[in-house]
Structure 1
Amino acid sequence: MNLKLRTAFDLAAVARDAGKRGRIEMKPIGARLSFEVALYRIILRVLAVYEKAKPALIEGARADRSTLTMDAFGISDIVSALRGSFSQAIALADNPLRDLFRGEGARHDSRWIEQVNSVIGVDLNAVVTSEQVQPAIDLATRRNVALIKGLTDEVAARIEVAITDLVSRGASTKEIAARLTEIGGFGRRRAQLIAVTEANKFNGELNRIRQTQAGISRYTWSTVRDNRVRPKHRAREGQTYRWDTPPQGGPPGSEPRCRCVARAVLDFDEPAIRRSERRRASTQGRRAVEAALTGFTP
C-alpha cells in the first residue's frame, strides 16, 4: 500500500483500514557500531594535532626548565599554536561530521521503511524524505563541533597547567613526557565517550522523528540487557512511555553512554475502544441529566 506525500500521517489508522488488528511492537532500530567508530575516528583526527605537537611541548618544557622562567619561548607560545591548530582541524571536521550524520540518517530511513513494509504492508517511500531529518542532522553536527572544541580546549588547558607545574617543581623530561601521554589518554577516553553518546543520541532522535511523523505516540523502552545498563533503565525494560511525556532523563539514548532504544507501539484497536468509551460516557451523561430533570433514577 502506497501513501500520498504528506509530512505526517496515522500509520495505525492506515494499517487498521488494511485489516490489521491487535498490538504490534516494532523491532528497535539502534545505532551501528560502525557509525560510532567513524565518529570516534573523526574526533581522533582532530586530537592527532596534539600528538604531533608533543615533541615541541617537551622541548619547550626543557627550555623553560633550564631558564627557570615561565616567559621564555616555550610552553605559552607552543600551547597557543596548538590551540590554533586545533581550531583549523575542527573546521575541517565539519563536513565529514555532516556527511556521517547524513549517511546514518539515510540508513535509518531505509531500515524504518523496510520494517514497516514487512510488518504492516505499508510503503513509506512516498512520505519519508531526507529533508524531514535535515534539522536533526544540522543540530547533531553543530553539537558535535561544539563538543570537540570543548574537548580540545580542555586538553590545551591541562597541558599548560600540568607543564607549568612540573617545570616549576624541576620535574625531569621523562616525567613531563609521561604527563603529556596521560593527557593524550584522557583526550582519547573523552573522544570515545562523545562518540558513544552522540551516536546513540542521534539514533534516538531519528526514532522520535520517524515514529511521531507516523502518528505513533507511544514506545516501549528496550535495553541491551547487559551488566552495563543503568539500574533505572533496567527497571524501564518493557515499560511503555509517551513521546510527549518522557521519563526523567529523557527518552532512550538521551543520557551519556545510553544504548537503549524506543520500540514503536502500534495499537490498532485503541481508537475504536476510545470512541466506544466516549459514546458510553455521553449516553450515561445524557441519562443523568434527564433523571435530574424528571426526578427519576433509572
Structure 2
Amino acid sequence: MPVKNNGPGRYSRASTTRKSKVEPEYPQWAESKMRAIENRRLKELQAVVRDSMPEILAIAADEMDTASESIRKDGYSDMVHRIQNRFRIMRDRLSRRLKTDPLERDVRRCADYTDRRQLQEWQRSVRATLGIDISKDFFIGERYEQMLSRWAEQNVSFITSIESDCFDDMEKIIIDGFTKGRTPAAISNEIQRRFDVTKSKANLLARDQIGTLSADLTRTRQESAGVKEYIWRSSGDERVRACHRELDGKTFRYDDPPAMWYMTKRGKIYTGRHCNPGEDYQCRCVAKPVFDFNRLNSQAFKEKKQ
C-alpha cells in the first residue's frame, strides 16, 4: 500500500500499519567497550612517550649547547636526526608492548555484541507487536557476517591509524619546538594537549562507529522483513543535538530520510546530508519500526500457530 507523504515526519497512517510496542535502545555497552579498548592502547603510547622524554630532552640539551645558531635553524641538524631515531625506537617499543594486546578480538566482540543485541531487540519487537516470531535464520548468515567482519577490520585500522598519527604529530612538535628555541616545558605542554586531542578523537570514533554499525544492522533487518518506515527516537538526554531532538517521535521512510541541520544565531543551516537514525556523525538515535501488514516479507517470519 503506498504511503502518502504529508511533509517531513508526517506520513498518513492506515489500519494495516502498527507501531512497534518495543522501544529500541542505543548499544551503550559496546560504545563503552570500544572506548576502553582505545584508551587502554593510548595509555601504552603515553607511557612510552613519557619514559622517553628524558632521553629526548638530553639530546636537545646536548645539541643546543654545542650547535651554532645557524645549525640550530637547520632542519637536518644532528639533533633532528637523533630525535627521529629516538622516535623509531619508541615506535618499536610501543609495538612490543602492544604485541599481546587483543585488539582484533575485542573489536570483533563489540561488533558481535551489537549484532546480538540488535537481533534480540528485533525479535522482541516482532513478538510484542505482531504476536509472531521471526525466522531467525533469515536474519543471520553470510550477509551479516560480512557486515561485521568489514566493520571490525575498518575499526582496527582506524584505531591503529589514530595511534600512528599521534606519534607523527608528537615527533613534529618536539622537532619544531627545539629548532625554534621553545622551552622543554612549553613542548611538554603541547605534547600533552596533542595527546588529549587524540584521546578525544578516539572516544568520538567509538560513538560514531557503534552508532553506524547498529544503524546498518537495524535497517538491513527491518527492510529485508518488509519494513519501510520508522519512528525516529533520540537518546533523550542533554547531548542530543537540536536537529535530532526535533525529529524525535516523527515518522520517516528509509528511502526518504530527513535533512540534517545545525542551529546558529541566524537560524538553521542545512548540511546537505539526509540521514536515518545512527547515520549522522556521532548519532545515538535509533529507529522504531512501523509494520505494514501489506508489505511484510512472509519468509522473515514464522507462521502463527493456531
TM-score range, shorter chain: 0.7 to 0.9
Structure 1 position 214, deviation (Å): 1.0
Partner residue of 2:121 out of 111, 114, 122: 111
In the aligned structure 2, how far is the partner of 1:92 from the partner of 1:259? 27
In the aligned structure 1, how far is the partner of 2:86 from the partner of 2:145? 39
Partner residue of 2:245 out of 221, 234, 237: 234
C-alpha distance 139-87 of structure 1, shift in aligned 2 (>3 A): farther
Structure 1 position 56, deviation (Å): 0.7
The structure that is helix-richer by fraction is: 1
C-alpha distance 245-132 of structure 1, shift in aligned 2 (>3 A): same
- 1:75 aligned residue: 83
- 2:289 aligned residue: 264
Partner residue of 2:110 out of 100, 114, 124: 100
The AA in structure 2 aligned to 1:34 is W
Structure 1 position 109, deviation (Å): 1.1
Task: Give the RMSD, CA atoms, in angstroms.
Answer: 2.7
Specify the structure having the higher radius of gyration (Cα). 1
The AA in structure 2 aligned to 1:158 is D
- 1:215 aligned residue: 226
In the aligned structure 2, how far is the partner of 1:135 from the partner of 1:143? 12
The AA in structure 2 aligned to 1:107 is R
Pairs within 5 Å for 1:164-179: 164-179=175-190
C-alpha distance 237-82 of structure 1, shift in aligned 2 (>3 A): same
- 2:57 aligned residue: 61
The AA in structure 1 aligned to 2:246 is A
The AA in structure 2 aligned to 1:96 is D
In the aligned structure 2, how far is the partner of 1:213 from the partner of 1:84? 47
Deviations 1:98-151 (A, max 9, x none): 122112211221222123112222111343325442122112112212321331
In the aligned structure 2, how far is the partner of 1:218 from the partner of 1:80? 53
C-alpha distance 58-28 of structure 1, shift in aligned 2 (>3 A): farther
- 2:278 aligned residue: 253
The AA in structure 1 aligned to 2:83 is I
Shifted more, 223-232 versus 193-202: the winner is 223-232
Equivalent pairs: percent with the same residue? 23
Kept in 2, the 8 Å contact 1:39–1:195? The answer is yes
TM-score, scaled relative to structure 1: 0.74
Kept in 2, the 8 Å contact 1:49–1:82? The answer is no
- Structure 1, unaligned runs of 5 or more: 1-19, 272-298
Structure 1 position 189, deviation (Å): 0.8
In the aligned structure 1, how far is the partner of 2:176 from the partner of 2:17? 68
The AA in structure 2 aligned to 1:79 is F
Partner residue of 1:199 out of 205, 210, 222: 210
Kept in 2, the 8 Å contact 1:58–1:176? The answer is no
The structure that is strand-richer by fraction is: 2
Q: Name the SS of the counterpart of 1:235 in structure 2.
A: helix
The AA in structure 1 aligned to 2:35 is Y
- Structure 2, unaligned runs of 5 or more: 1-14, 65-71, 259-272, 297-306
